[in-house]
Amino acid sequence: EYAKANGYIISNDTSLIETVVKKAVENNPKAVADYKSGKEKAILAIFGACMKELKGNCSPDLLREILIDYVNKI
């Protein structure tokens, strides 16, 4: 109960993660452009924005996978 009440339980709600990723990508067009032009580390700015919005309450690996997949599709 304590862990749940204080946000210590990791949630891998993919629909929530996808929503946050879309919002972060829209808010960081320069980072997206930099990533697409070959600057691999530019994705970290978007990743950080997503983690901040999700309050760290998701698997970093899952978030990275969804983020990179989404950015590569646009």
Task: Quote the pLDDT of residue 74.
Answer: 86
The pLDDT of residue 52 is above 70: yes
pTM, entire model: 0.79
Question: How many alpha carbons lie under 13 Å from residue 57 in its C-beta half-sphere?
Answer: 14
Q: Could you read off the pLDDT of 2-20 as tens digits, one per residue?
A: 666 666 666 677 888 999 9
Q: Could you read off the pLDDT of 28-41 as tens digits, one per residue?
A: 999 999 999 999 89
User: Rounded to an integer, what distance in angstroms lies between the CA atom of residue 34 and that of residue 36?
Assistant: 5
Between 50 and 57, whose confidence is greater? 50
